[in-house]
Chains A and B, each alone.
Chain A
Amino acid sequence: MVIASLVLASCGGGNGSASGADDKTITGGGSSFDKPLFDKQFAEYNTTTGVKINYQSIGSGAGIAQLTSKTIDFGASDAPMNGKQDSAVSAPVLHIPITAGAVVLSYNLPEVKDTLKLTPEIIAGMFLGTITKWNDAQISAVNPTVKLPATDVLIAHRADGSGTTNIFTTYLSKVSPEWDAKVSKGSTVNWPVGTGGKGNEGVAGVIKQTPGTIGYVELAYAVQNQMQYAQVKNKAGNFITPSSASVTAAANIDIPADSKISLTNSDAPEGYPISGFSWVLIYKEQSYNNRTQAQAEQLVKLVSWMIHDGQKFSEALQYAPLSEKAVAVGDAILKSATFNGQPVLK
């Protein structure tokens, strides 16, 4: 009896505070695409301001879900919220572009020392299961100097829901009508072939483990794990190596005011075609669930820092720093964040 009442009392005490546990902590969750960058940014932010940010890389969809139920302060997603998610949320959510990254095709072919070149048709064919051998005519046509083995093409994809999958399948839907009709795009799709891995880390693990595998991971994971990744032919016909420079080039286009735009298959001649923005999501009206003005300011200041000073950590981690146009749009969006109707940033 005594124990029960103690438990109930402690439960009751915990419900008072809002999503942030105290004034010096901010909680966030979402995209695993962003995690390497966020880890670095948040560590630096903590040393300079003392504010601790607790970020869980649970996947873009889960981040949006947690933000919808207001259990975290901000979410991070590799895709803007879609219609279903918009209708589930109770108040408008601001999308602030935070970084752009590349989804690379990483492969494990120990005998092949050169970098493979891939065209959109080849990539779609592999992932649809129509191209099954590495020495297929289509692949050797664009790689005439490379000796390709006669082994099977094994595909690795995400087993869990993922914004990285979203960027990749959006690209495939744009370049392959067959893919668009059969599989379409989304965070989880019905993959025709392949083995699943959990998270970017899982897919990288599957690729590294099995010779002959090709899969899609975020650029930082491929570089950190020293995996080979392919050059991809873009819309202009050039074979582009994924890097922060080629992603910035792909992002150097006009961005709409709400910043919801896909960078895949960009028109830019030097742009890497499988690029994507990643967004931080916060509620437009910051006074909810007993949040204080101080907490709202702290959050908006953090996001503002992330799109200005925080960008200097991007290149070292293979992310593309935001272009000036993107920063301008981000600033304008942040200015529209309010607390009880008054703008948070003065």
Chain B
Amino acid sequence: MFFAQIQLSVMMELNLENSNNVALNANFKETENVMSDAKRKQFKKAPKSIVGERIFKSLLGLLSVLILLLVVGVLFTLLLHSLPSIKAIGFKFLWTKTWDPPHSIYGTLPFLVGTLITSFTALLISIPFSIGVAITLGEYFPNGPVSNFIKNAIDLIAAVPSVIFGFWGFLILVPYVRELELKIGITPPDGQGLFTASLVLAVMIIPYAASLGTTMIKMTPSALKEAAYGLGATRWEVLKSVILPYSKSGIFAGILLSLGRAIGETMAVTLVVGSAIKMPSNIFSTGNTMSSMIANQFSEASSDPLQLSSVVEIGFILFLVTFLINYIGKRIIKRFSNK
């Protein structure tokens, strides 16, 4: 998915000089020889290999175009199926606060707000942890048993199915949040709500920023670090002035990945968010996100065309929101690497 693409584009944009990556240097030298050998072979061999090259190239091009068509197709289908709702309700859909099928009133504002609040809160909660893990694994424990243990634990978090996080949240986290709400004096002390959903999401999205951040921190040229140490910098100062500025666009890309995951997460959120269709009054109130609304409403809505098309329109808006956030994120990454 996004992971490899962002990693690759980040590396290219950063214009790496990987002097500490010996293997890469060796490959570079050998490639020159191999290329000239291949070129010689090309001229000596029959045109069969040129045809093979061409087929391979066109196959790659075809697959890329196919994927692009798929994405455009999804967007187009969403738009097509939300047309009845767009025609009937129009732009009002974006700021209507109620979802009232018996009276045919539909609006997406509570869910939009719910999605944005839960995703960004989850991001804020998880950033210290994921950057911390990235620094630990990249700088302090790059190899060895401790590193393996932490790495495996993080990978395990990413591998657990999201519905299990939902169950864990519902059965274990909700009572604790309820006690917290009772202490603070939130009524009603439900336990479920946007805050609980943010906590569950925060745990789930740690691995993405952590692993990408680890890779970027490890790629900081050791020449820069050694120079800083040589000038008498402490470990913390090297981290602050050399490593983090160098890898900051990569870490940001990892954070963007985490945010993308948080926005789209459905089952884990549905089980703990409380499914209430109203504008959230505070972080602890129950609410709904766009994806959990779709999950709840889709099967039943299929009997009422306007309701169904409104649910699809929620999906369409979710698609656009994800698109927009990714675009803004990419622009910010570009800014970081051009400085």
Contact = CB atoms under 8 A, between A and B. Distances in A.
Nearest to B175: A209
A62 B308 CA distance: 11
B142 interface: no
Given A195-B192, A196-B275, A161 B100 contact: no
Given A195-B286, A209-B170, A62 B300 contact: yes
A152 B191 CA distance: 13
Given A161-B297, A197-B275, A198-B270, A184 B303 contact: no
A154 B190 contact: yes
Contacts of A205: 170
Given A61-B300, A68-B303, A152-B189, 16 more contacts: A59-B299, A61-B299, A61-B301, A61-B304, A62-B302, A62-B303, A65-B299, A88-B303, A162-B300, A189-B102, A190-B103, A196-B275, A198-B271, A198-B275, A209-B170, A212-B188
A191 B276 contact: yes
Interface in A139-192: 152-154, 159-162, 183-191
Given A191-B277, A195-B286, A65 B303 contact: yes
Contacts of B302: 61-62, 65-66
A330 interface: no
A64 interface: yes
7 contacts: A61-B300, A65-B299, A68-B303, A154-B188, A160-B296, A194-B276, A210-B174
Contact of B100 (A59, A85, A187, A190): A190
Interface of A: 58-62, 64-66, 68, 84-85, 88, 152-154, 159-162, 183-191, 193-198, 205-206, 209-210, 212
A184 B102 contact: yes
B283 to A, nearest CB: 16
A198 B101 contact: no
Given A160-B296, A198-B296, A210-B178, A189 B101 contact: yes
Interface in B282-324: 286, 296-297, 299-305, 307
Nearest to B277: A190
A135 B103 CA distance: 34
Given A65-B302, A184-B103, A188-B101, A210 B190 contact: yes
Q: Report, nearest first, the 9 A-B pairs whose CB atoms are least far apart.
A: A161-B300, A196-B275, A159-B275, A65-B302, A61-B300, A62-B299, A186-B102, A190-B100, A184-B102
Contacts of A186: 101-102
A210 B100 contact: no
B170 A187 contact: no
Contacts of B175: 209
Nearest to B105: A190
A198 B297 CA distance: 10
Given A152-B188, A194-B276, A160 B102 contact: no
Nearest to B304: A84
A195 B191 CA distance: 10
A160 B274 contact: no
Contact of B300 (A59, A193, A209): A59
A194 to B, nearest CB: 7
A187 B101 contact: yes
Contacts of B300: 59-62, 160-162, 187-188
Contacts of B105: 190
B5 interface: no
A66 B303 CA distance: 9
Nearest to B104: A84
Contacts, number: 103
B205 to A, nearest CB: 23
Among B101, B191, B301, B304, chain A packs the most CB atoms within 10 A around the CB of B304
A195 B170 contact: no
Contact of B274 (A62, A152, A196): A196
Contacts of B275: 159, 195-198
Nearest to B187: A152
B136 interface: no
* Interface core residue of A84, A159, A197 (most chain B CB under 10 Å): A159
A187 B299 CA distance: 12
B168 interface: no
B95 to A, nearest CB: 16
Given A185-B102, A198-B270, A159 B303 contact: no
Interface string B74-100: 000000000000000000000000111
Nearest to A197: B275
A188 B253 CA distance: 40
A44 B151 CA distance: 52
Nearest to A192: B278
Contacts of A66: 302
B276 A88 contact: no
Contacts of A210: 174, 178, 190-191
B102 A161 contact: no
Interface string B184-201: 000111111000000000
B175 to A, nearest CB: 7
A160 B301 CA distance: 9
A193 B188 CA distance: 10
A59 B171 CA distance: 25
Contacts of B274: 195-196
Nearest to A154: B188
Contacts of A197: 275
A84 B303 CA distance: 8
Contacts of A194: 276
Given A154-B188, A185-B102, A189-B101, A159 B305 contact: no
A266 B188 CA distance: 34
A160 B99 CA distance: 13
A189 B300 CA distance: 12
A216 B272 CA distance: 19
A66 to B, nearest CB: 8
Contacts of B276: 191, 193-196
A161 B190 contact: no
A61 B297 CA distance: 10
A198 B192 CA distance: 14
